[in-house]
Amino acid sequence: MPITTVKDSQGNITKVVLVEASGAAVEVYLYGATITSWKAKGKERLFLSKQAILDGSKAIRGGIPIVFPQFGLGKLVQHGFARTSNWQLLGYKDQIDGAKAMFLLTENEHSLSMWPHKFRAVYTIRLDSDTLNLSLSITNTNTSAAGSFDFTTLLHTYFLTPSISEVAVHNLAGLSYTDKVAKLDNVVEKNDPVSLASNVDRVYHNAPEKINIDISKHEAVLLTKTNFKDIVLWNPWAELAKGMADFGDDEYKQMVCVETGTVGSPISLAPGQTWEGHTSIVLQ
């Protein structure tokens, strides 16, 4: 079977493990539809904090949380409610080009308490021997003509690295970015590649579809995006790491977030309209 499920004492599915013919596997918690593990070519590829909280009481620190309908701080809780909502397993399929699973989130008491809109979010995960393909579709299911809504969204990917000093992110030179640490807008990136040696929290606007990432001196990934406009680069570094209860003091040395999303300007959907974004991560 391409999929196994873990259930709680009430018989509710809490976690799904999707396995492809080569042995590549992803682990997905229905809480947040958060991918917490991606093993391919015999190695773990995603960072998950050893202090991550996995009981559904807090967003999971690591893996690939889904940010929707708000990136960062704003009128809603930080990064929105999708990562703290219980999704449904919509279905799965073992196919020639890999294994696939789909997850569903619609409006519910949790979402309506902070965002008065009806929607249908479908998250599709497709796995093959060296690639993780992710698709997120958002449909506005409001019926009134006044039911349009705006949103921002992001796949908050934490990559695992043996050392942050070895990480290099290519294809960002010349882009304008917002520097959340320095509180500056319209900074132009002059470096190629970009390395990290301090707290970094940047939104690179209108980024190219393909971003090459050196995860270490010997490993790299190709990050490809479609219909996601921006790239977010983040590492909390030592001082912020010490202030995070669900993150080890030294774990910043083993992770880097390179995230695909549309966060610089919101997406607008009228009733009945659907938006869809795609990301693929390919081992090089």
Residues assigned a catalytic role: 156, 259
DSSP, res 83: G
Q: Which of 209, 203, 206 is nearest to 223 (CA)?
A: 209
* 154, β-bridge pairs: 67, 261
Q: Are strands 184-188 and 176-179 parallel, antiparallel or unpaired?
A: antiparallel
> Can the peptide bond before residue 69 be classed as cis, meaning omega within 30 degrees of 0?
yes
Question: Is 83 flagged in the annotation as binding?
Answer: yes
Determine contact, residues 232/259, Cβ cutoff 8 Å. yes
**Tokens 């977010």 -> residue:** 232
**Tokens 């506005």 -> residue:** 140
Chain Cα centroid distance, residue 168? 19
Distance of alpha carbon 120 from alpha carbon 106, whole angstroms? 5
Distance of alpha carbon 136 from alpha carbon 275, whole angstroms? 8
Phi, then psi, of 70 in degrees rounded to 5: -140, 130
Determine contact, residues 32/87, Cβ cutoff 8 Å. yes
Question: Is 61 flagged in the annotation as binding?
Answer: yes
> Which positions make up the binding site?
61, 78, 83
> Which positions make up the binding site for substrate?
61, 78, 83
